[in-house]
């Protein structure tokens, strides 16, 4: 039996290794002109089939022309990455921020991945970046070189100008519609990803930094991450009693529940949801939501708004800056705790056809999970097919988010401010649309990265092009908040526009929050 298992494992590993080798051999092989043109047609056909509101921001005639023009520019064989850099700007003409393109990049075996991890933190992972005036700066330094100060401009990487790289990588992302604030927030986060797509994984990089008038070049190599290993000094290990085991299990359960409630992100090692009071009398509450995608949110909001009510807070500051979005169910619940009237939170979602959802990434997981999903698929397919209805020549999917929720017991009724910026995207923009449209809050900051009138997202499967193996993530649902604006293609504009300077970021100054606190004080004085 053991020999059979070992033989089976060996066969699986051999197949896996051969598959990786075969994949990697294709990555840098030029693909014929004919095959690449077929991929262009294939991509457009799939978008027409699955993506609703494809011509929201560009006419069919113009998009047809863009795809036809793309084919005429393909005059010689290209690698997958080269083709990726040509097709992505065309797809970005659709102007949907959730539409993403991924090149056919190198795969690593489990052994290779372990070896890379063992070498330590890569030369990109040791920094966080920010952008100002189309230049790249250090936002956080985790390298061993403490002389690299926050706010240092990154002039070049491996002797290639970062300004040039930013200009090229800018073509590879898009916002919802026509706004420009999204790029300043998104591009620094995507910079390392784009660089690796182009140049592969590096163990070291030559950075050129500029701070004030001083310029220096520094090699940043992989940084060993400190490992904590448990050591056993005594040969005899103390055996835990039943009571001790029970106590440890209970503590672990409490910690797990707390982490889930507050949306703990193990990669970033931070909570995504938090509440604090910034006045001694707790009159001002600050609710910071970094994303709407992690953990069990319902107990958090129930607890938070009870605390706000118990503390008699009369002002709530909702901080949605750099919040990329997440779940509709979470923002719908949050809205029900702050709204002054009950509305259907979002419209019924437009979809391309009755069978659109058949394309979603339904399968995934282990062998047993996929087996169960296979058995359940006919029921799933029947359910989504029947849920899609045709109205006025278009198809719509209805959900619980399309029904008005009752106003909740501990909802907040006081003065409300919302902090937004170009990093406020997707779900952050949807809840902002309703808060702005209803006049519920004063908005401070800069225009959101997500559009006021909705986005194409929801289910987002990937489509692989047959020859280049480039992957395209396609949104299947047009999701729009209840409130709309006549201005198409822009985000939620702030009532008070305040854009932090580079100096603000370096010093940790928060001019948006400062304005709100001063406004609260002034309002209190005026009321006396």
Whether residue 421 has pLDDT greater than 80:
yes
DSSP state of 497: E
Cβ density class 131-156: b for 16+ within 10 Å, e for less: bbeeebbbbebebeeeebebbbbbbb
Cα gap 275→304, rounded to integer Å:
7
pLDDT on residue 13: 47
% of the chain exceeding 90 in pLDDT: 71
Residue 280 and residue 292: Cα distance in Å, rounded? 29
Banded model confidence at residue 229, pLDDT cuts 50, 70, 90: very low
Please report which confidence band the pLDDT of residue 112 belongs to, taking 50, 70 and 90 as the band edges: confident
User: What's the DSSP call for residue 143?
Assistant: S
User: From start to end of 191-314, where are the E strands?
Assistant: 204-211, 214-221, 264-265, 270-271, 273-277, 284-289
What is the pLDDT, as a whole number, of residue 177? 95
Q: Which residues contact 107 (CB under 8 A, 6 or more apart)?
A: 20, 23, 24
Whether pLDDT at 503 is above 70: yes
Take residue 216 and report the two structure tokens written for it.
């220096």
Q: What is the pLDDT of residue 85?
A: 97
Residue with structure tokens 């001790």?
244
Q: Which of 153-162, 188-197, 375-384, 435-444 has the lowest mean pLDDT?
A: 375-384
Residue 149 has pLDDT above 80, yes or no: yes
Cα-based angle 421, 155, 135 (whole degrees, multiple of 5): 20
Task: Give the residue-averaged pLDDT of 182-207.
Answer: 95
| E-assigned strand segments in 297-447 | 315-319, 349-351, 388-391, 394-397, 415-420, 442-445
| Burial of residue 360 (number of CB atoms within 10 Å: 0-12, 13-18, 19+) | middle
- Structure token digits, residue 85: 């850099």
Report pLDDT for 235: 46
When pLDDT is cut at 50, 70 and 90, the band that residue 272 belongs to is very high
Domains of the chain from N-terminus onward: 22-98 (no CATH), 121-221 (2.30.42.10), 261-351+400-462+472-527 (3.90.226.10), 356-397 (no CATH)
Rounded to whole angstroms, what are the CA distances from 355 to 338, 362, 382?
Answer: 37, 13, 10
**CB of 43 closer than 8 Å to CB of 87:** yes
Q: Give me the phi and psi of 154, to 5 degrees please.
A: -90, 105
* Mean pLDDT of the 38-51 span: 96
Residue-averaged pLDDT of the chain:
89
Measured between alpha carbons, how far apart are the two ends of the chain, in Å? 85
Confidence of residue 9 (pLDDT cuts 50, 70, 90): very low
Q: What is the pLDDT of residue 5?
A: 46
pLDDT the model gives residue 326: 95
The angle formed by the CA atoms of residues 468, 97 and 187, to the nearest 5 degrees, is: 85
Judged on CB neighbours under 10 Å (0-12, 13-18, 19+), 355 is middle
The answer, yes or no, to whether residue 123 has pLDDT greater than 80, is yes
Name the E strands within 169-283: 204-211, 214-221, 264-265, 270-271, 273-277
Strands (E), 372-505: 388-391, 394-397, 415-420, 442-445, 455-457, 462-464, 471-473, 477-479, 496-497
In this model, does residue 406 exceed pLDDT 80? yes
Q: Which two tokens stand for residue 234?
A: 């005594």
Which of 248-252, 256-260, 284-288, 425-429 comes out lowest in average pLDDT? 248-252
Question: Is the torsion defined by CA of 113, 115, 121, 123 positive or negative?
Answer: negative
Average pLDDT over residues 231-245: 64
Q: Measuring CA to CA, how many Å separate 178 from each of 133, 302, 482, 489?
A: 19, 37, 21, 5
Distance (Å, whole) CA 416 – CA 428: 16
C-alpha 313/C-alpha 417 separation (Å) is 13
pLDDT of residue 8: 45
pLDDT for residue 243 = 83
Tokens of 53: 């509101």
**Which range among 193-202, 231-240, 376-385, 465-474 shows the weakest confidence by mean pLDDT?**
231-240
Q: Name the token pair of 483.
A: 């409130």
Confidence of residue 376 (pLDDT cuts 50, 70, 90): low
- Whether 402 shows a pLDDT value over 70: the answer reads yes
pLDDT at 110: 83
pLDDT in tens, 282-294: 999 999 999 999 9
């Amino acid at each position: 039996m053991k020999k059979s298992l070992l033989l089976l494992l060996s066969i699986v590993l051999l197949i896996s290794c051969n598959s990786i080798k075969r994949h990697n051999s294709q990555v840098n092989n030029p693909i014929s002109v004919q095959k690449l043109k077929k991929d262009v047609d294939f991509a457009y056909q799939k978008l027409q089939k699955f993506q609703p509101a494809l011509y929201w921001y560009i006419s069919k005639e113009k998009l047809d022309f863009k795809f036809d023009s793309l084919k005429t520019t393909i005059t010689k064989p290209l690698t997958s990455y080269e083709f990726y850099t040509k097709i992505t700007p065309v797809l970005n003409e659709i102007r949907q921020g959730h539409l993403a393109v991924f090149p056919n990049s190198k795969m690593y075996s489990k052994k290779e991945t372990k070896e890379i991890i063992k070498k330590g933190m890569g030369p990109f992972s040791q920094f966080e970046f920010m952008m100002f005036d189309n230049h790249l700066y250090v936002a956080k330094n985790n390298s061993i070189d403490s002389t690299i100060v926050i706010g240092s401009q990154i002039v070049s990487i491996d002797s290639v100008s970062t300004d040039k790289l930013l200009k090229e990588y800018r073509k590879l992302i898009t916002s919802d519609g026509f706004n420009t604030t999204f790029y300043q927030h998104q591009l620094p986060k995507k910079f390392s990803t784009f660089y690796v797509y182009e140049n592969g994984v590096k163990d070291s990089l030559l950075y050129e930094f500029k701070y004030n008038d001083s310029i220096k070049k520094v090699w940043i190599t992989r940084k060993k991450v400190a490992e904590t290993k448990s050591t056993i000094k005594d040969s005899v290990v103390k055996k835990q009693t039943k009571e001790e085991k029970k106590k440890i299990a209970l503590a672990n359960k409490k910690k797990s529940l707390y982490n889930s409630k507050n949306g703990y992100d193990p990669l970033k090692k931070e909570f995504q949801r938090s509440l604090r009071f910034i006045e001694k009398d707790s009159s001002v509450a600050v609710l910071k939501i970094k994303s709407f995608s992690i953990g069990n949110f319902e107990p958090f909001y129930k607890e938070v708004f009870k605390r706000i009510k118990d503390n008699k807070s009369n002002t709530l500051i909702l901080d949605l800056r750099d919040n990329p979005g997440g779940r509709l169910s979470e923002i719908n619940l949050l809205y029900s705790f702050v709204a002054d009237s009950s509305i259907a939170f979002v419209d019924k979602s437009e979809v391309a056809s009755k069978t659109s959802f058949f394309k979603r990434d339904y399968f995934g997981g282990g062998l047993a999970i996929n087996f169960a999903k296979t058995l359940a698929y006919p029921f799933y397919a029947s359910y989504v097919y029947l849920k899609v209805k045709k109205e006025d020549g278009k198809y719509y999917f209805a959900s619980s988010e399309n029904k008005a929720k009752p106003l909740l017991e501990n909802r907040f009724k006081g003065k409300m401010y919302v902090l937004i910026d170009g990093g406020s995207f997707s779900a952050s923009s949807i809840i902002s649309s309703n808060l702005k449209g209803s006049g519920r809050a004063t908005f401070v900051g800069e225009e959101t990265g997500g559009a006021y009138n909705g986005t194409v997202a929801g289910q987002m499967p990937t489509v692989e092009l047959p020859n280049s193996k480039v992957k395209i993530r396609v949104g299947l649902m047009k999701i729009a908040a209840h409130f709309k604006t006549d201005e198409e293609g822009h985000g939620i504009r702030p009532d008070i526009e305040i854009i932090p300077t580079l100096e603000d970021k370096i010093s940790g100054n928060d001019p948006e929050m400062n304005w709100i606190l001063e406004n609260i004080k002034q309002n209190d004085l005026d009321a006396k």
